[in-house]
Amino acid sequence: MNDSIRGDDIMTDIQAAFSDPQFVARYTEGPRHFVPGYDAMQSMAAILLAERVPGDARVLVLGAGGGLELKAFAQAHPAWSFDGVDPSAAMLALAGQTLGELAPRARFHQGYIDDAPEGPFDGATCLLTLHFVDVEERRRIATEVRRRLKPRAPFVVVHLSAPHGEAERPLWLSRYSAFLAASGVEPDRAAAARDAVTNHLQILAPAQDEAILREAGFSDPTLFYAGFAFRGWVAYA
C-alpha cells in the first residue's frame, strides 16, 4: 500500500518499510494478495476517470510508488500523462521500472500532497493510502486535491473502510484476514495483518468517508467498489 501524505509515528514506520530495499523489491507481488479484486479495481478506476476526462488527460496520482496503477492507466489510455506523488524515493524508482517504456509519460514528485503540482488536473486518484492518516488530515488532503482539479473532474479513492459496530467491524476484518489466507499468505502473517489494521490504521465508517469528500467540496460521492474491508468511491470537483 502506498502513502503520499503526512501522518504520525505509524507513517514513519510505513515510510521506513517503503525505503527498505527488500520490501521494495517484493512490493509489486503484494497488493493482489492483500486487496480483493485488485486488478479489477484498477480497471474500474480507469473507466471512471475516462468517463469525464479528455483523451489527452493529465492525471494526478497520489501514492504512486510502485507504479502499478500508473501502468494500468497508461496501458488502457495511451494519450494520458501523469504526475505521481510519493514520499519514498525507492518506491518512485520502482514505479519508473514498473512503467518501463511508458515511463516518459509520468513525472514523479517525491513528497506529499503539498508537493504535488498545482494543476489544474483532469482527474486524480488516491488508491490504498488514506487509511494511513487521521480524519483531519484526510479533510485537508481532499481539499487540496479538489483545489488542483478542473471543475467537474473525477477523483477516485480506495482504502480500508468498514462499519464501526461492535459486531460488524471485527467481522469485516476477520473476512479480510481470511482473504489473505485464501490468497496464499501464511496464517500467522494473515492474523498479524489483521491485528496491525485493527490497532494502527485509521479506518473510518463508509458514511464518514463520504462526508469527508462532500466537506472538501466534491459532489456525488458514489461507491463503485467493495472488497471486504476495502471500499472505493468516485466523486467530482
Distances (CA, A) of 124 to 9, 19, 53, 105, 114: 27, 25, 10, 15, 15
| Residue in the block written with cell 503526512 | 6
Let me know if residue 15 belongs to a domain.
Answer: yes
> Which domain does 128 fall in, by range?
9-164+203-236
C-alpha cell at 44: 474500474
What average pLDDT does this structure show over 223-237? 96
d(CA 84, CA 107): 6
d(CA 111, CA 115): 6
Q: Positive or negative CA dihedral for 84, 215, 134, 185?
A: negative
Let me know if residue 1 belongs to a domain.
Answer: no
Q: What is the pLDDT of residues 167-215, one digit of tens each?
A: 888 898 889 888 888 888 888 888 888 888 887 788 999 999 999 999 9
Let me know if residue 193 belongs to a domain.
Answer: no
| Residue in the block written with cell 492474523 | 191
Q: Is the pLDDT of residue 7 over 60?
A: no
Of residues 199 and 6, more confidently modeled: 199
Let me know if residue 121 belongs to a domain.
Answer: yes
Number of domains making up the chain = 1
Q: Is the pLDDT of residue 13 over 50?
A: no
CATH number at residue 55: 3.40.50.150
Let me know if residue 28 belongs to a domain.
Answer: yes
Q: What is the pLDDT of residues 112-129, one digit of tens each?
A: 999 999 999 999 999 999
Highest mean pLDDT, choosing among 75-84, 161-170, 198-207: 75-84
For residues 193 and 206, the answer to whether their CB atoms sit within 8 Å is: no
Let me know if residue 47 belongs to a domain.
Answer: yes
Q: Helix crossing, 68-76 with 89-99: angle to 10°?
A: 30
Q: How confident is the model at residue 19 (pLDDT cuts 50, 70, 90)?
A: low
Let me know if residue 3 belongs to a domain.
Answer: no
Let me know if residue 185 belongs to a domain.
Answer: no
